[in-house]
């Protein structure tokens, strides 16, 4: 084992990436240009990239190293978030970018890639450490992993890791198949399944809020919490991704991965240490406790929706079925709402309402924890009906766009008499700390390159998530819906409101 570097000071030094090569499959794609390359540049900008690194982009498109560099520069300049592009910094970054074109099904391509990596190890000093990033179409994942394995690229002097973008399969069976293919080449400890929601600062802040404070956790259970609502609303439609989205739908695209991970972050038990294995064990345990919905109960606990055309403010918005690339009788859910129950001591009987949709009134992601009302109201005056308008306490954790935490509580209205009004106490994450927040991809890339998998999902978590949604997907697959059932610009179908009404609850308007 190499000597540990005695000069490192974790108290003051920013976390640094060790010497390595990053191989991006699908380097000519949207994700690389919008997210990965700006994130890598920004990590370099902050001086957190090592002196010895190489980024090797690959895709079918023929390009030279120089052409690739020009293209990547343009994408960094265009998509860099909240920070300036500095020519001098780019000039220090650019020489370490390389490109190898090829077909992922061609064995010769991996031989050329091996040669590239060998040169990078020699000239850039990457120490044999390689991170393979699958940013290709999901249908190519297994082929690429097999190619890496056959060319023996998963072995070498340093570490070899694999980052996989979602979707991790399209159901439980295909997720397992993909996993088997990956595990033929990479051990689980080297596999990093990325869910960018977990890389968001505000999702991480849920852990800080829950486990860094002593006053909330005692209330964080079925005795005090009435229900939990998780909303991930988008105001946009499918934006040219109609044919892809038609095969996916809201339940698969958002709830199975992002929102169940967020739900696990809200509901998991504290781990004894903040370390990848321990934190992920708790998340997995929570997801395994999500009660599977019986086929006969799917209509009671899940609602599918699809937006129809609308006209608002003089603007015509097409319905989903009118979007380019979408079938005229598409059965895709552009809206999904599910009531989950979690069968453990902490959450037994507490509904977790999760909803997501496209063409909703605004873009917002938040979590609302509704606490039980005060058991008895002392204050009988106030409210329209002359009774006290006692509102239960509500804790809102906003993930986007205005990240923060709000607590709603009752306060006396100024003046004589005892009239109460709900007031909100706000903590704004972005404005309380005025510094730039790293993007989810910056956080997750540094983590993967440093070997920290805490914010990555694990196969058992993926399988537990698929198990939670599988009964709904199965029932919906055999159903012909009377779509569209909500207009663009509204908060989803009426059936979704009815689902909550049956429990005496209602959806918040975020």
Partner 1 sequence: MGAAAGAVRPEQILKDLEALWVELGQSDPEKRNAVLRACSMTLLVALDEGDDEQEAAETVAELMHEHPSRSIVLRVSRDGGEALEARVLAQCWMPFGRRQQICCERIEITAPVERLDEVPRVILGVTVPDLPVVLWCRGARLCGEKGFAELAAVADKLIVDSAEFPTAEGGLEFVRKASGRKLTGDLAWTRVTAWREMVALLFDCPETGMTARQIERVRVLHGGSEAGSSAAYLAGWLRATLGGGVLVGMEARREEEGSIVGIEFEGDGMRASVSARGGFAVLRMNEREHRVPFAPQTLSLLLREELGILDRDGWFEASLG
Q: Which amino acids are annotated catalytic?
A: 258
Measured from the CB atom, the residue of 131 and 350 that comes closer to partner 1 is: 131
DSSP string, 273-286: SSSHHHHHHHHHHH
Measured from the CB atom, the residue of 127 and 290 that comes closer to partner 1 is: 127
In the complex, what is the shortest distance from the CB of residue 5 to partner 1, in angstroms, rounded to a whole number? 5
121 binds partner 1 per the rule CB under 8 A? yes
> What are the DSSP E strand ranges found in 47-195?
53-59, 97-101, 130-134, 160-165, 191-194
122 binds partner 1 per the rule CB under 8 A? yes
Binding to partner 1, residues 287-316 (CB under 8 A): none
Count of residues in contact with partner 1, rule CB under 8 A: 40
22 binds partner 1 per the rule CB under 8 A? no
13 binds partner 1 per the rule CB under 8 A? yes
44 binds partner 1 per the rule CB under 8 A? yes
| Spatial distance between the Cα atoms of 351 and 395, rounded to a whole number of angstroms | 16
50 binds partner 1 per the rule CB under 8 A? yes
Options 45-53, 163-171, 180-188, 310-318: segment touching partner 1 (CB under 8 A): 45-53
45 binds partner 1 per the rule CB under 8 A? yes
Options 63-71, 87-95, 159-167, 168-176: segment touching partner 1 (CB under 8 A): 87-95
| Spatial distance between the Cα atoms of 177 and 181, rounded to a whole number of angstroms | 6
47 binds partner 1 per the rule CB under 8 A? yes
Closest to 225 measured CA to CA, from 395, 344, 378, 354: 395
In the complex, what is the shortest distance from the CB of residue 54 to partner 1, in angstroms, rounded to a whole number? 11
81 binds partner 1 per the rule CB under 8 A? no
| Spatial distance between the Cα atoms of 178 and 158, rounded to a whole number of angstroms | 25
Measured from the CB atom, the residue of 51 and 477 that comes closer to partner 1 is: 51
Measured from the CB atom, the residue of 2 and 236 that comes closer to partner 1 is: 2
| Spatial distance between the Cα atoms of 4 and 235, rounded to a whole number of angstroms | 50
- Is residue 97 classed as helix, strand or coil in its secondary structure? strand
Measured from the CB atom, the residue of 13 and 345 that comes closer to partner 1 is: 13
In the complex, what is the shortest distance from the CB of residue 416 to partner 1, in angstroms, rounded to a whole number? 22
Three-state secondary structure of 323-364 = CCCCCCCCCCCCEEEEEECECCCCCCCCCEEEEEECCCCCCE
In the complex, what is the shortest distance from the CB of residue 325 to partner 1, in angstroms, rounded to a whole number? 33
Measured from the CB atom, the residue of 86 and 155 that comes closer to partner 1 is: 86
413 binds partner 1 per the rule CB under 8 A? no
| Maximal CA-CA distance, the chain | 84
Options 14-22, 60-68, 356-364, 462-470: segment touching partner 1 (CB under 8 A): 14-22
509 binds partner 1 per the rule CB under 8 A? no
Which one of residues 426, 460, 495, 497 is an interface residue with partner 1 (CB under 8 A)? 426
Length of the chain: 510
Q: Which residues contact 378 (CB under 8 A, 6 or more apart)?
A: none
In the complex, what is the shortest distance from the CB of residue 472 to partner 1, in angstroms, rounded to a whole number? 37
Residue 185 near residue 156, CB atoms below 8 Å: no
Residue 326 near residue 320, CB atoms below 8 Å: yes
Which one of residues 78, 92, 115, 474 is an interface residue with partner 1 (CB under 8 A)? 92
In the complex, what is the shortest distance from the CB of residue 2 to partner 1, in angstroms, rounded to a whole number? 7
41 binds partner 1 per the rule CB under 8 A? no
In the complex, what is the shortest distance from the CB of residue 200 to partner 1, in angstroms, rounded to a whole number? 17
Measured from the CB atom, the residue of 125 and 318 that comes closer to partner 1 is: 125
In the complex, what is the shortest distance from the CB of residue 119 to partner 1, in angstroms, rounded to a whole number? 12
Looking up tokens 């229900």 gives: 227
DSSP assigned state of 198: G
Which one of residues 29, 79, 80, 89 is an interface residue with partner 1 (CB under 8 A)? 89
Does an H or E element contain 122, and which?
helix 107-123
Measured from the CB atom, the residue of 7 and 329 that comes closer to partner 1 is: 7
Number of Cα atoms under 13 Å in the Cβ half of residue 41: 31
| Spatial distance between the Cα atoms of 100 and 24, rounded to a whole number of angstroms | 10
What is the CA 38 to chain-centroid distance, rounded?
18
In the complex, what is the shortest distance from the CB of residue 243 to partner 1, in angstroms, rounded to a whole number? 33
- Is residue 307 classed as helix, strand or coil in its secondary structure? strand
Which one of residues 28, 32, 52, 229 is an interface residue with partner 1 (CB under 8 A)? 52
402 binds partner 1 per the rule CB under 8 A? yes
Options 2-10, 189-197, 349-357, 502-510: segment touching partner 1 (CB under 8 A): 2-10
Residue 370 near residue 391, CB atoms below 8 Å: no
Q: Quote the tokens at residue 369.
A: 């924890």
127 binds partner 1 per the rule CB under 8 A? yes
- Is residue 404 classed as helix, strand or coil in its secondary structure? strand
Q: Which residues contact 433 (CB under 8 A, 6 or more apart)?
A: none
In the complex, what is the shortest distance from the CB of residue 401 to partner 1, in angstroms, rounded to a whole number? 9
Binding to partner 1, residues 427-486 (CB under 8 A): 428, 430-435
> How buried is residue 346: exposed, middle or buried, by Cβ count under 10 Å (0-12/13-18/19+)?
middle
What is the CA 353 to chain-centroid distance, rounded?
18
- Is residue 247 classed as helix, strand or coil in its secondary structure? helix
8 binds partner 1 per the rule CB under 8 A? yes
| Spatial distance between the Cα atoms of 301 and 336, rounded to a whole number of angstroms | 11
What residue ranges bind partner 1 (CB under 8 A)? 2-3, 5-9, 11-14, 16, 18-19, 44-47, 50-52, 82, 88-89, 92, 121-122, 124-127, 402, 426, 428, 430-435
């Amino acid at each position: 084992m190499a000597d540990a570097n005695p000069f490192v000071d974790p108290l003051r030094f920013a976390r640094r990436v060790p010497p390595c090569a990053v191989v991006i499959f699908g380097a000519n794609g949207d994700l690389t240009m919008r997210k990965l390359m700006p994130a890598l540049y920004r990590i370099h900008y902050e001086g957190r990239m090592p002196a010895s690194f190489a980024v090797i982009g690959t895709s079918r498109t023929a390009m030279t190293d120089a052409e690739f560099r020009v293209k990547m520069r343009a994408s960094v300049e265009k998509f860099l978030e909240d920070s300036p592009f500095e020519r001098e910094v780019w000039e220090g970054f650019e020489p370490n970018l390389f490109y190898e074109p090829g077909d992922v099904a061609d064995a010769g391509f991996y031989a050329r890639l091996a040669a590239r990596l060998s040169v990078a190890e020699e000239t850039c000093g990457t120490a044999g450490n390689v991170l393979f990033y699958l940013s290709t179409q999901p249908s190519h994942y297994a082929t690429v992993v097999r190619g890496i394995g056959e060319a023996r690229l998963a072995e070498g002097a340093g570490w070899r890791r694999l980052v996989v973008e979602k979707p991790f399969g399209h159901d439980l069976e295909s997720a397992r198949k993909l996993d088997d293919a990956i595990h033929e080449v990479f051990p689980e400890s080297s596999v990093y399944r990325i869910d960018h929601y977990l890389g968001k600062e505000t999702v991480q802040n849920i852990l800080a809020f829950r486990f860094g404070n002593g006053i909330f956790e005692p209330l964080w259970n079925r005795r005090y919490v009435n229900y939990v609502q998780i909303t991930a609303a988008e105001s946009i439609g499918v934006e040219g991704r109609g044919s892809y989205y038609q095969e996916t739908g809201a339940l698969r695209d958002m709830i199975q991965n992002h929102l169940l991970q967020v739900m696990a972050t809200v509901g998991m038990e504290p781990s004894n240490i903040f370390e990848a294995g321990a934190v992920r064990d708790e998340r997995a345990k929570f997801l395994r406790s999500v009660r599977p919905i019986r086929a006969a109960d799917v209509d009671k606990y899940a609602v599918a929706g699809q937006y129809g055309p609308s006209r608002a403010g003089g603007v015509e918005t097409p319905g989903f079925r009118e979007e380019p690339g979408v079938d005229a009788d598409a059965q895709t859910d552009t809206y999904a709402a599910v009531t989950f129950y979690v069968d453990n001591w902490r959450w037994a009987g507490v509904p977790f309402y999760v909803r997501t949709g496209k063409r909703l009134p605004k873009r917002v992601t938040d979590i609302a924890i509704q606490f039980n009302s005060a058991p008895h109201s002392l204050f009988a005056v106030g409210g329209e009906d002359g009774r006290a308008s006692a509102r239960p306490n509500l804790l809102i954790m906003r993930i986007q766009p205005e990240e923060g935490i709000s607590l709603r509580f009752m306060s006396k209205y100024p003046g004589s008499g005892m009239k109460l009004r709900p007031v909100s106490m706000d903590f704004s994450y972005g404005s309380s700390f005025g510094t730039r927040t790293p993007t989810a991809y910056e956080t997750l890339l540094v983590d993967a390159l440093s070997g920290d998998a805490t914010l990555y999902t694990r196969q058992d978590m993926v399988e537990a998530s698929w198990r939670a949604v599988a009964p709904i997907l199965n029932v919906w697959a055999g159903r012909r819906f009377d779509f569209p059932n909500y207009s663009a610009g509204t908060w989803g179908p009426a059936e979704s409101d009815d689902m909550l009404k049956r429990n005496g609850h209602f959806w918040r308007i975020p």
